[in-house]
Amino acid sequence: DVKVTQSSRYLVKRTGEKVFLECVQDMDHENMFWYRQDPGLGLRLIYFSYDVKMKEKGDIPEGYSVSREKKERFSLILESASTNQTSMYLCASSLSRGARMGQFFGPGTRLTVL
Amino acid sequence: SQQGEEDPQALSIQEGENATMNCSYKTSINNLQWYRQNSGRGLVHLILIRSNEREKHSGRLRVTLDTSKKSSSLLITASRAADTASYFCATDASGGATNKLIFGTGTLLAVQP
């Protein structure tokens, strides 16, 4: 079974802190994604990566950056956390030609910024 | 840019009844996928239907796609309390290898025992 893990289930940070969210997948997937999920807004794509060191902006990249130095790991960075970044963050991965299997999601990190 | 919009936003039914959720989208797609999310957890892929397909079945799930109306429906037959979850449609318009998806806002399904 594909496994996508995220470094924390719950995280509390203060405004202005630098925050790192880590995601690791164990199935050699080329594609990795970071979403945030807010009530009434569904999932919104922040960034995605289709190869090591490659990244593309999603729909809401402002205030975020990402890093993919190794194929299995995709990090989301909040350079200076703000209260409006309080949200559930979901990581996902998929095969490059594996549309039929869809995306595989991690359990999510619920981030609270005080 | 929200591609998929689900209807209804919330649905409550009795165990054994069928549940139908609808999804509308705005642009041409390669495929449409349905996902399930249990409370506070990650999403799980349920089923994918390609743009040249009209209907797909998987166990108690039936998905239809009408590309002329840009809409899809998910039917769960003989529902169980364990089906209680949020259901999301997601469209893939990437046309390439990225499998980039745009998700709808979801339908919250409650199945009463």
SS3 sequence of B54-111: CEEEECCEEEEEECCCCEEEEEECCCCHHHCEEEEEEEECCCCCCCCEEECCCEEEEE
Alpha carbon of A41 to those of B71, B101, B111: distances in Å?
A: 19, 15, 23
Report the number of distinct structural domains present in chain A.
1
Q: Is B97 on the interface with A (CB under 8 A)?
A: yes
* pLDDT tier, A35 (very low <50, low <70, confident <90, very high otherwise): very high
Residue in chain A lying closest to B105 (CA)? A42
pLDDT score, position A10: 96
Q: Compare CB distances from A99 to B41, B88, B92 and report the shortest one's residue.
A: B92
pLDDT score, position B3: 60
pLDDT score, position A24: 97
Report the number of distinct structural domains present in chain B.
1
Residue A19 has pLDDT above 70, yes or no: yes
Mean pLDDT of A53-75: 95
Q: How far apart are CA B70 and CA A89, in angstroms?
A: 29
pLDDT score, position A12: 97
Which domain does B36 fall in, by range? Answer: 5-112
Residue B92 has pLDDT above 70, yes or no: yes
pLDDT score, position A18: 97
Mean pLDDT of B42-66: 96
Which domain does A100 fall in, by range? Answer: 4-113
Q: Looking at residue A100, what DSSP letter applies? A: G
CATH of the domain at A68: 2.60.40.10
Mean pLDDT of B3-26: 91
Residue of B79, B35, B20, B72 whose CA lies nearest to B50: B72
Q: Compare CB distances from B99 to A40, A41, A99 and report the shortest one's residue.
A: A99
Q: Is B41 on the interface with A (CB under 8 A)?
A: yes
Residue B43 has pLDDT above 50, yes or no: yes
Q: Residue type for A36, please?
A: R
Residue B25 has pLDDT above 90, yes or no: yes
CATH of the domain at B27: 2.60.40.10
Interface of A with B (CB under 8 A): 4, 30-31, 33, 35, 40-45, 48, 50, 56, 59, 88, 90, 92, 94-108, 110
pLDDT score, position B5: 80
Q: How far apart are CA A92 and CA B64, in angstroms?
A: 25
Mean pLDDT, all residues of chain B: 91
Q: Is B83 on the interface with A (CB under 8 A)?
A: no
Q: How many CB atoms lie within 10 A of CB B39?
A: 8
> B62 exposed, middle or buried (CB, 10 Å; 0-12, 13-18, 19+)?
middle
Pairing mode, if any, of strands B10-14 and B107-112? parallel
Alpha carbon of B50 to those of A101, B29, B33: distances in Å?
A: 12, 8, 9
